[in-house]
């Protein structure tokens, strides 16, 4: 019950309803305890709106469609713990209408397909727990499912267990860009995954303790980059910590989806402190033997910490300095400059 205990300690708990958010100007909506974040999203009738979420816990599912472009969703406080959007669907949870289960993407507490989205100073969480549902085998429970080009998350906490952040694209042939800055992402199995071109700048990834007897207990990343996309996930200037024992986790494994078997997963982790929770001897593993990680675009550069120790070089492919110059925030994001926008 660890996640629910954490969320229960927050003040100003709110239940979603149909109460409209309060409009203080033509394009700013305020959501307070007793209001619904989704109702505010529905009220925003075009691009460029800002939704300000005041401190409280909002237990609801939020879906931002592609028509709500250039939307900003931010906490009223700069402390992301103050405003929490949380729900508890899993892949194997039955839909109330009897149409089947939610599936991985459908389990998400927060979903956005909106281009130009900005999310700041919030917590997005899925507090579904395996131990509470031993009858459910589809245990993926997503906190945020993000598609849409130019999606920007800053000072956001993303909390779940398996498949916390689904960083994806709007279509198999789209190279949608995402930028995460000063974010905290927590989970256990494949908890940052998808095919987006995503930059994680100064982010903190934390692997949680998992009550299993085997190792690895999980992986931080599971990219599914399209073969035609020159860039996948880039994690730089961050850190990887763990609440589990030493060497219990891997940095990554490649995800080649059954619906996109030509995927060529890409991950670069650079200038990052990696703690002892990561297996330094063998930091990568396979998801399926048909797609060995050694054939994927997995590289590191200038990492530090006990989990970054290179004792078996063939298990830790490194970029050269020349190659590292092509794996930067600028090369991944192109002409988009999210760091220059401060809504």
**From 121, 168, 176, 190, the catalytic residue:** 190
Residue 40 has φ and ψ, to the nearest 5°, of -65, -40
Give the separation between CA 105 and CA 140, rounded to whole angstroms. 9
Size of the chain in residues = 343
**From 163, 176, 188, 279, the catalytic residue:** 163
Tell me the two tokens of residue 250: 């891997």
DSSP calls for 23-78? EEETTEEEE-BTB-HHHHHHH--STT-EEEEPSEEEES-EEE-TTSTT-EEEESSS
75, 121 in Cβ contact below 8 A?
Answer: yes
Counts for the chain of helices (H) and strands (E), in that order: 5, 27
Give the separation between CA 223 and CA 257, rounded to whole angstroms. 10
Reply yes or no on whether 246 is catalytic. Answer: no
- DSSP letter at 166 equals E
Reply yes or no on whether 127 is catalytic. Answer: no
Tell me the two tokens of residue 147: 């598609």
DSSP calls for 213-268? SSS--EEEEEE---TT-S--EEEES-EEEESS-TT-EEEE-----TT-TT---EEE
219, 213 in Cβ contact below 8 A?
Answer: no
Q: Please list the active-site residues.
A: 163, 190
């Amino acid at each position: 019950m660890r996640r629910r205990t954490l969320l229960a300690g927050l003040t100003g708990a709110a239940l979603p309803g149909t109460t409209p958010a309060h409009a203080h100007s033509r394009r700013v909506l305020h959501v307070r305890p007793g209001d619904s974040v989704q109702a505010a999203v529905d009220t925003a009738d075009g691009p460029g709106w800002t939704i300000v979420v005041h401190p409280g816990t909002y237990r609801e599912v939020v879906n931002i469609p592609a028509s709500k472009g250039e939307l900003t969703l931010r906490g009223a406080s700069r402390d992301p713990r103050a405003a929490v959007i949380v729900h508890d669907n899993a892949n194997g949870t039955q839909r109330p209408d009897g149409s089947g289960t939610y599936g991985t993407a459908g389990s998400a507490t927060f979903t956005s397909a909106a281009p130009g989205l900005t999310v700041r100073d919030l917590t997005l969480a899925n507090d579904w727990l395996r131990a509470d549902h031993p009858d459910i085998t589809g245990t993926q429970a997503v906190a945020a499912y993000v598609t849409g080009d130019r999606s920007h998350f800053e000072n956001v906490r993303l909390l779940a267990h398996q498949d916390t952040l689904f960083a994806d694209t709007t279509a198999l042939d789209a190279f949608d860009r995402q930028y995460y800055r000063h974010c905290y992402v927590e989970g256990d199995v494949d908890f940052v995954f998808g095919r987006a071109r995503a930059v994680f700048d100064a982010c903190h990834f934390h692997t949680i303790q998992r009550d299993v007897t085997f190792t690895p207990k999980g992986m931080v990343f599971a990219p599914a980059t399209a073969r035609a996309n020159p860039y996948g996930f880039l994690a730089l200037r961050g850190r990887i910590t763990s609440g589990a024992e030493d060497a219990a986790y891997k940095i990554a494994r490649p995800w080649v989806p059954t619906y996109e078997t030509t995927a060529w997963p890409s991950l670069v982790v650079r200038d990052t402190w990696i703690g002892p929770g990561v297996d330094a001897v063998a930091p990568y593993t396979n998801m399926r033997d048909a797609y060995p990680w050694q054939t994927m675009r997995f590289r590191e550069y200038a990492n530090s910490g006990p989990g970054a120790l290179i004792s078996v070089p063939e298990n830790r492919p490194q970029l050269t300095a020349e190659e590292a110059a092509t794996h930067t925030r600028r090369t991944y994001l192109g002409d988009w400059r999210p760091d220059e926008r401060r809504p």
